[in-house]
Structure 1
Amino acid sequence: MTTTTPTSAPLAPASAGRVAQPRRRGISLTMLRIEGVRQLRNPYTLAFTLAMPVLMYVIFGASASYGTMSAGHGNVSFYVMVSMAAYGTAVAMSSLTSLAATESKQGWGRQLAMTPLSTVGYAMTKLITAVTFASLALIVVFVAGMITGAQADDLWRWFAAAGIILGLGLMFGLFGLGVGLFFNADSAAALASISMTFFAFFGNVFMPLDGIMLDVARFTPLYGFAALSRWPLTDGTLTTGQTDPLWMVLLNVAVWVTVFIVLVVAGVRRSRTRQ
């Protein structure tokens, strides 16, 4: 009697039962385009980032009778132009990064996990959008300045001021990120923009301060940023005749960068506690 040896069932492939993970990739050009269009349709972004800096420059720099007066290595119009470009950059960086943080808290990160876009790619897309709008704010104000008579003794001073504004403006991306993580989604972006406007009024950005107001302004987050942005024009000399030493404005920037980092860390811990 012959016995039949049962044949074993074919082995299932090693990959059976596993959910195929999407291949992660970096920046998505489609998402970058969507983000850009989305912000162009956002009235708050247009008002605080683009319209307000230009309007403030036109009122206090271009149309003012003292705009053609000498100021450092240029004129007052150039001084006001740089100040308003610095303000617009700070608002753009803070408001747009705060939106990124609130989207993450609302569960957008879990949605992205089902797409090929990596977390780093998402963060880079948001950062590029913020830097793009900061650059746009700067360009719009600088073009308005060139049209209306803002002058500097040398061409390099224009590029130096623009480079300082965009480079140091990244610090306010930390501020916006911290605000977005720490506060609820409904108020984070508005709070970031309003805070920048408040800091600008009391940080010697919108109008020249003197006396005790100037002493207080030196401790505000926009003071060092604006002072360094105007450095190619003024070499640290204020409209009141006083001179800020370079170490002091650098210290102001360093201290506030540290404060913003602490705010981000606190915001991350707070958002994890809520979860």
Structure 2
Amino acid sequence: MNATYFRIELARVMRDVVSMFFVAVLPAFMYVIFGAVQDYGSADIGNGNVAAYVMIGMAAYGAVTATVGVGGSAAVEQMQGWGRQLGLTPMSDAQRVTTKAAVGFVIAIIPVVAIFVIGALTGAEAEPHVWILSGVLVLVGAAVFSFFGLLAGLLFRSEGAVGAASGSLVILGFLGNVFFPLDGVMLDIARFTPLYGIVALARYPLTEGFAASMTDGSVSQESLWVPIANVVFWGAVLVIATILLARRGRSRQ
């Protein structure tokens, strides 16, 4: 990793007020609205309360938004010739990739830390191990989803496409049980969507797979393999598709 390039890229991303709003401010605001100020936020759930459940989901949404944006911009820069310009510097390809990955990781930490701190100050409660494990799992899931941004950048080669990919996370969030609990047929559909596994896995230390139906109040437990299988499947799809598109792009040059 190149320290100078890392510092420049990190400063560039953090100066983008619009991006940072969607990465950190909006998810934190949504946590406050849907978790902290609601009466049900103090209700017990697993190893904590509902506010913590909402908090983890919003932290995951913010972290994924961060990595999708950074990953997508990296792909667009490469396709538009910035990679050739950097090729004139002493930096190797490996250094450029690891530097971009480091920037994405640091940006993803911002919403997780911010929302967890706000959660701790506004009534989110959970066992100590939940805070640690859920935070780590959120960051791991966000790293996997960075390939979604790379894929969008390689496929459409424009900043607008990357913005559209980030915007599509809102739809995927609603479909993936991120913003509010789903049940019945909608939950069955959610299990096949890309964001479901990341968020369900991050919430597992809190819920241990237990969920109550919003319609009849019945309680069910989901096996751990379900979110793991979702993450592995969609991770493989995104990685393979990104590699294939990158190879096709190089073959055309």
TM-score range, shorter chain: over 0.9
Decide whether the 8 Å contact of 1:102 with 1:188 is kept in 2.
no
Look up the match of 2:68: 94
Look up the match of 2:240: 262
Tell me how far 1:274 sits from its aligned partner. Answer: 4.7
Structure 2 alignment gaps of length 5 or more:
214-218
Counterpart-to-counterpart distance in 2, 1:187 and 1:263 = 20
Look up the match of 1:118: 92
Does residue 159 of the first structure (1) align with residue 132 of the second (2)? yes
Decide whether the 8 Å contact of 2:73 with 2:159 is kept in 1.
no
Tell me how far 1:166 sits from its aligned partner. Answer: 1.2
Look up the match of 2:216: none
The structure-2 alpha-carbon separation of the partners of 1:199 and 1:41, relative to structure 1 and needing over 3 Å to count, comes to same
Decide whether the 8 Å contact of 1:94 with 1:177 is kept in 2.
yes
Does residue 271 of the first structure (1) align with residue 249 of the second (2)? yes
The structure carrying a bigger helix percent of its residues is 2
* Percentage of matched positions with identical amino acids: 42
Does residue 39 of the first structure (1) align with residue 39 of the second (2)? no
Look up the match of 2:42: 68
Look up the match of 2:207: 234
Look up the match of 1:250: 228
Larger Rg: 1
Tell me how far 1:125 sits from its aligned partner. Answer: 1.0
For residue 67 of structure 1, give the secondary structure of its aligned residue in structure 2.
Answer: helix
Tell me how far 1:270 sits from its aligned partner. Answer: 4.0
The structure-2 alpha-carbon separation of the partners of 1:187 and 1:266, relative to structure 1 and needing over 3 Å to count, comes to farther
Decide whether the 8 Å contact of 1:182 with 1:268 is kept in 2.
no
AA partner of residue 268 (structure 1): A
Decide whether the 8 Å contact of 2:153 with 2:159 is kept in 1.
no
User: What is the RMSD computed on CA atoms of the aligned residues?
Assistant: 1.3
How many residues in Structure 1 have an aligned counterpart in Structure 2? Answer: 248
Counterpart-to-counterpart distance in 2, 1:44 and 1:117 = 30
Counterpart-to-counterpart distance in 2, 1:129 and 1:188 = 20
Counterpart-to-counterpart distance in 2, 1:86 and 1:272 = 33
